[in-house]
Amino acid sequence: MQKVIITAAICGAEVTKEHNPNVPYTVEEIVREAKSAYDAGASIIHLHVRKDDGTPTQDINRFKECIDAIKVACPDAIVQPSTGGAVGMSNEERIQPVNLSPEMATLDCGTCNFGGDEIFVNTENTIKEFGKKMIELNVKPEIEVFDKGMIDMALRLNKKGFINDNMHFNFVMGVNGGISATYRDLMFMRESIPENATFTVSGIGRSQFDMVALSILLGGHIRVGFEDNVYMKKGVLASSNGELVKKAANIVKELGREVATPKEAREILGLKANILSTQEA
């Protein structure tokens, strides 16, 4: 089996210091959490950014400031900005970080209820617009899917030329309104993607480490971090993203696989050519 790529989703757009006081808002806090995750074995830093008061923002300048600072602290990390932003943001707001030409960015492939009155809206035209932009700028999409129908949407848009081949999926499991975080449903998602596609699994809340273990056993990759879960175990808050990554890395080793380095992650995901073109530029 391939080595396991660990992604750290260090802050998200919804979780706050009220949930866990270690959730980062400022540039300095975001770098601290990225470094803690990187040092513990994360190759990919999945990045949302906030204003200093914790308000989520997609401002391109804030993203650039955070990415530049992370790259100083974690020189070879893959920084993967979110184009999901926060519920209610416009397409114009959400797409901003892609204009920085990162190696990867997220591409949400469907609309999902997020609880209460919150609806995370991704129309077919939104997905096409974002996918086309990523192709133009040589940004590899991580295809975010919260349910089986979103996989079907991604496959249709791949055939139409809005998403490139050699797709990489992130199965987000356990969201209120999305697919449940169970072995049955993970197998359903896994068997619905092309054989040559790669996949990461993100378990939400209490399901995080169950999904970590199952993805490792199924040959997949894993995501942990404060965006998805703020606890080490029931009732025990994590002190950092690094603590969550360290626990995940230990599970990887206990289950007989190895953690990928950033260089190995790039090879697995097909990012090597993108890196070379960036260096040559």
pLDDT at position 273, please?
46
Per-residue H/E/C for the chain:
CCCECEEEECCCCCCCCCCCCCCCCCHHHHHHHHHHHHHHCCCEEEECEECCCCCEECCHHHHHHHHHHHHHHCCCCEEEECCCCCCCCCHHHHCHHHHHCCCEEEEECCCEECCCCCEECCCHHHHHHHHHHHHHCCCEEEEEECCHHHHHHHHHHHHCCCCCCCCEEEEEECCCCCCCCCHHHHHHHHCCCCCCCEEEEEECHHHHHHHHHHHHHCCCEEEECCCCCCEEECCEECCCHHHHHHHHHHHHHHCCCCECCHHHHHHHHCCHHHHHHHHHC
pLDDT score at 142: 98
* Whole-number pLDDT of residue 1: 84
Which tens digit of pLDDT belongs to each residue from 220-270? Answer: 999 999 999 999 999 999 999 999 999 999 999 999 999 999 999 999 999
* Stretches in the chain below the pLDDT threshold 50: 273-281
192 burial via Cβ count (<10 Å: 0-12, 13-18, 19+): middle
Q: What is the pLDDT of residues 90-113, one digit of tens each?
A: 999 999 999 999 999 999 999 999
Residue 115: what pLDDT? 83
Quick one: pLDDT at residue 272?
Answer: 59
- Interacting residues of 76 by C-beta distance below 8 A, sequence separation 6+: 262, 263
Class of domain 6-262: alpha beta
CA gap 229, 15 in Å, rounded: 9
Distance CA 33, CA 104 (A): 19
